[in-house]
Structures are given as C-alpha cells and as structure tokens.
Amino acid sequence: MSFKVDSNNVEKVIEELNFSKSNGLIAVIAQDWQTNEVLMFAFANKEAILKSLATGRAHYYSRTRKELWEKGESSGHVQIIKEIFVDCDADAILLKIEQNVAACHEGYKSCFFRKLNDKGEFKIIGKKIFNPSEVY
C-alpha cells in the first residue's frame, strides 16, 4: 500500500512547500521505511511532487536532463511512498519508501555506498545488488 493524497487536497500541500530557494525545486531525501537507511537524494519540482502525491510512487526533477522522471521508469526499481515529512523551513521533504531492488543506478541499494576514511579516501562499502549493464 502506498501513501497518496486525494487530488482535491494536493494544492494545499504545494502551498506549504518552499520552492523559492532552489530555483523552483525542493530537496528530497528517500529513506527506507523499515531500516531507515538513507537511499537517495534528489530534487523535485511542483509537478514531480504532484505526480508523487497522485501515484504513491516517487517522482523527481533532474537538473542535468532538465526533466521530470519517475524513479524506476527504465529499471523497474520504483519507490513506493509510505510516509512524507517536511522540514522546519519547508524546503526539504523526507520520503519513507519501499524500494524495489535498489535505489542506485550503479547497482547498490543506496546511492550513499562510499564512505570516507581518515586518509581522505572514499571507499566502497555497499554491496552490489544488480549489474547496471544488464538493467539499463
């Protein structure tokens, strides 16, 4: 079961959010709803938020490609939204999600699969779950 908001009430949500500080975008953190592992960070525009609220699946806005995208649209690795939180100044939201397979397009469960050591090196600590060349 995903969390959705009825279409009659979505405009209220948009009004509560602050899109002004990041050129029409809001920061979005996706967190595993059961383990609390942080899986992904991205931005969303109003349209992406509306799509997320309507479908119960996480949608984002790519600053690089300048377009709305649904997580998993090509890989099938969709994110089912379970809960949505907003921060104090309303410029960031936290999605508690159920991640299908893995969040990272590089094959890891979480995009945060590299950890810094005290020599200043980022070392891979995540386990590879799928082979990107077979999925994309």
Binding footprint of a second copy on the chain (CB under 8 A) = 3-6, 9-13, 16, 21-22, 27, 29, 31, 35-38, 40-41, 53, 63-64, 83-89, 92, 94, 104-106, 108, 111-116, 118-122
Q: Which of 101, 5, 121, 18 is nearest to 55 (CA)?
A: 5
Residue 68 or 94 with smaller CB distance to a second copy: 94
- C-beta separation of 125 from 116 below 8 A: no
Residue 35 or 74 with smaller CB distance to a second copy: 35
Q: How far is the CB of 8 from a second copy (least distance, A)?
A: 8
CA distances in angstroms from 24 to 17, 43, 61, 62, listed in the order given: 10, 10, 10, 12
Q: How far is the CB of 33 from a second copy (least distance, A)?
A: 12
The two tokens of residue 65 are 């490609």
Residue 88 or 134 with smaller CB distance to a second copy: 88
Residue 68 or 132 with smaller CB distance to a second copy: 132
- C-beta separation of 118 from 54 below 8 A: no
